[in-house]
């Protein structure tokens, strides 16, 4: 009796133990440019939320003094999504805004890691609660991430949004914290 031959199997592209999504603060010029390009593509060109640019005073402020964090998400090394967060000025309160994922990456689950990274980062910087103005179709997505709706529909940047928030815990990964702000 002859041993059974093993037939070759077609090669597969499989990632084992590797997360194809990486989120990090956009601190260098190239990462910051990619962050802003994603926001422009989504909020200006695709959705028309802003006419010419979504940049505002928070983008112009020095992040070392203001606490503004611009986050870039990549998928297999390619810029795919962005979010911005900053302290509101109320003790322990942070605002997350400008969450954007490029259309070609929306099926790659980029939004969840971006929101979780923002929440973790604000918590690591002594935040107690994060708030956001969420577009109506995204309410369920935020509920799945543990956020609660804080009130009725409101107008934010000229469009209907829902106020939502989530409590922040201390950092589970302290290296995310970056430099702490003076109290």
Q: What are phi and psi of 161, to 5 degrees?
A: -140, 160
The average pLDDT across 65-93 equals: 94
Higher-confidence position of 137 and 174: 137
- Asked if residues 145 and 112 have their Cβ atoms less than 8 Å apart, the reply is yes
Residues paired with residue 165 on neighbouring β-strands, in sequence order: 131, 148
- The pTM of this model reads 0.81
Q: How far apart are alpha carbons 88 and 129 in whole angstroms?
A: 10
Q: How far apart are alpha carbons 143 and 85 in whole angstroms?
A: 19
> DSSP letter string over the chain?
-PPPPPPP-------SS--SEEEEE--SHHHHHHHHHHHIIIIIIIS-SSSS----HHHHS-HHHH--EEEEEEETTEEEEEEEEEE-SSTTEEEEEEEEE-GGGGGG--HHHHHHHHHHHHHHTT-SEEEEEEEGGGHHHHHHTT-EE-SS-EEETTEEEEEEEEE----SSGGGS-SPPP-
Q: What is the pLDDT of residues 81-92, one digit of tens each?
A: 999 999 999 999
Q: Is the confidence at residue 22, as pLDDT, over 80?
A: yes
Q: What is the pLDDT of residues 99-151, one digit of tens each?
A: 999 999 999 999 999 999 999 999 999 899 999 999 999 999 999 999 999 99
Q: How far apart are alpha carbons 59 and 39 in whole angstroms?
A: 12
């Amino acid at each position: 009796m002859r041993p059974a031959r093993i037939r070759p199997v077609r090669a597969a592209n499989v990632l084992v133990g590797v997360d194809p999504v990486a989120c990090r603060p956009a601190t260098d010029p190239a990462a910051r440019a990619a962050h802003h390009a994603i926001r422009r593509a989504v909020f200006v060109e695709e959705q028309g939320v802003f006419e010419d640019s979504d940049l505002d005073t928070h983008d112009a402020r020095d992040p070392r003094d203001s606490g503004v964090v611009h986050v870039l998400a990549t998928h297999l090394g390619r810029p795919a999504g962005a979010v911005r967060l900053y302290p509101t000025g109320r003790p322990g309160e942070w605002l997350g805004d400008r969450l954007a994922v490029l259309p070609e990456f929306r099926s790659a689950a980029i939004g969840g890691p971006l929101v979780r990274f923002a929440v973790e980062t604000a918590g690591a910087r002594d935040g107690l609660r994060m708030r956001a103005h969420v577009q109506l179709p995204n309410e369920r997505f935020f509920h799945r991430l543990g956020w609660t709706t804080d009130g009725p529909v409101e107008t934010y940047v000229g469009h209907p949004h829902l106020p939502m928030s989530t409590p922040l815990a201390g950092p589970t990964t302290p290296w995310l914290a970056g430099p702490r702000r003076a109290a």
